[in-house]
Structure 1
Amino acid sequence: MLTLRQRHYLLAIADTGSFAMAARPANVSQPTLSRQVRGLEERVGVRLVERSTTGAVLTPISRSIVATARRMLSDARDIIALAGGASDSRAGTLKLGTTPTLGSYLLSPIIAELHRTAPRLRLHVCEGIPTNRCSNSREGTLMSCWGRCR
């Protein structure tokens, strides 16, 4: 299995054209980076980088691998961001049902404060007859409802 770290190193070489220059942003020594890329080459069974005294040049197959590796690393960052957002209880969507009378008067300052303190929280307010809001709540289309729900 190719590691995300190995893919990151290959991208650093693709971006810099040099093992030494790629090692700096990757926060590793040049020999460590070189060993990791060599291990990656052994794993896939093809040469990915042509090494020379003037730098490093990607082989044709590694250019295709680099394009896929960029997408994969981007997807990995997206997964981490999604997981981080899920751990924030003040992120996501909150659906709230209210009566027209209460919603107009009481929710404005509450909504303003929520926007200030929880900018990643999306709030959907639905005004309507309490019995309809209660049935929506039981169906799972609202997370909360004002009034009595039976």
Structure 2
Amino acid sequence: MIDEHEWRSVLQVAEDGTFSAAAKHLYVSQPSLSQCIKKIETELGEHLFDRSQTPLQLTPAGEVYVDKARRIQRLKQEIIKETADLSELRTGHLCIGSSRTRSSCYLTQPIIDFHRSYPGIHLQVCEHSLQELKEDVLAGNVDFALLYEPLPDASFAAIPLLKERTLLAVPMDHPLAKKYGSKQVLPYPTLSFARLHKEPFIRLQSTRRMSRIFSELCQQTQCEPDVVFEANSIIDAAELCTAGLGITLVTDMLVRGWHWRKAPFFFELEEQVPERQLVAAYGRNQHLSHAARSFIALLKR
């Protein structure tokens, strides 16, 4: 019942909620998975899952098993990380949690540099939402994740990386950009958000932090842009802005790091928008490997 194959099977069923979905993720047949779970239940003398509910629910015995199995999983990950340090970065594995935007605009060159320096380290980037990344950190699924302060609680530790500023992106054929000859001016000229009343605007979906910044700016300036589209990511919003759909909010990380086919025109906001502190977050009680620290050092250069 403590065989790795067995506890991984239980964890997968608990995560997916059905035997069929878990079997696909484990690359086994459903009957084989069902037999595995039944064997564990027989040894324990208790059911792990309430099969009368869909999705499957853990029984009290199942909750105990899953809690202990996750502890075993974390211990195994710690053993791998700490023994990998003994190899002096000749071999090992490094998993970084990130969003799509930060993967594209911030991680590309460090990944290349890290691989050139440590070709024996298997490097993986897991792209999830910010909430999922926080869960990944606590579960030990990633060595560290790129998150913003403030972090949820004291179970997280963090290494500061950089501060992000919020900018306005305007299509190059918009009158606000034509005022400067539709050619970017440096330093970025300033523009009040209040000037965007009734202007076509691309906001981010409500679950995104940039959407909250948009709402705060609207309230602060009593301005109501005409929202023509709600994008899922800053990259999507910026590309639609470039195509002329509307104005949007972006970060200076995106401005510097994205491979623009044709960049929009960028403005600094006259309004005060707090900078966001980006950090490398990891579990306070988890070992931060030598490989992870070396990669973070590249990010801080």
**Shift of residue 90, structure 1, vs aligned partner:** 5.9
Q: TM-score, normalised by structure 2?
A: 0.29
How far residue 3 of structure 1 moved from its aligned partner, in angstroms, is: 0.7
2:18 maps to 18
Q: Give the unaligned 5+ runs of structure 1.
A: 92-115, 123-150
2: distance between equivalents of 1:29 and 1:90?
A: 37
- Unpaired segments ≥5 residues, structure 2: 92-115, 119-289, 294-301
Tell me what 1:86 maps to.
86
Bigger RCO of structures 1 and 2 (CA < 8 A, at least 6 apart): 2
Write the mapping of 1:1-150 to structure 2, written as runs, cut at 5 A: 1-52=1-52, 54-88=54-88, 117=117, 120=290
Q: CA offsets, 1:90-115, max 9 Å, x none?
A: 69xxxxxxxxxxxxxxxxxxxxxxxx
Identity of counterpart residues, as a percentage?
A: 33
Q: 1:14 to 1:77 in 2, by over 3 A?
A: same
Instruction: Tell me the CA shift for residue 70 of structure 1.
Output: 0.9
Per-residue CA deviation, residues 33-75 of structure 1 (Å, 9 max, x unaligned), is: 1111111112222111122484422111211221121111111
Q: CA RMSD in A?
A: 2.9
TM-aligned CA distance change 1:53 to 1:20, over 3 Å: farther
**How has the CA–CA distance of structure 1 residues 67 and 89 changed in structure 2, closer, same or farther, with 3 Å as cutoff?**
closer
Kindly provide the amino acid, as one letter, of the partner of residue 24 in structure 1: K
Larger Rg: 1
SS, match of residue 57 in structure 2: strand
Structure with greater strand percent: 2
Letter in 1 for 2:78: D
- Aligned partners of 2:41 and 2:48 also within 8 Å: yes
User: Matched residues in 1 for 2:64 and 2:53: separation?
Assistant: 24
Alpha-carbon separation, structure 1, partners of 2:21 and 2:59: 18
Q: Compute the TM-score of the two structures, normalised by the length of structure 1.
A: 0.54
Count of residues in correspondence between the two structures? 98
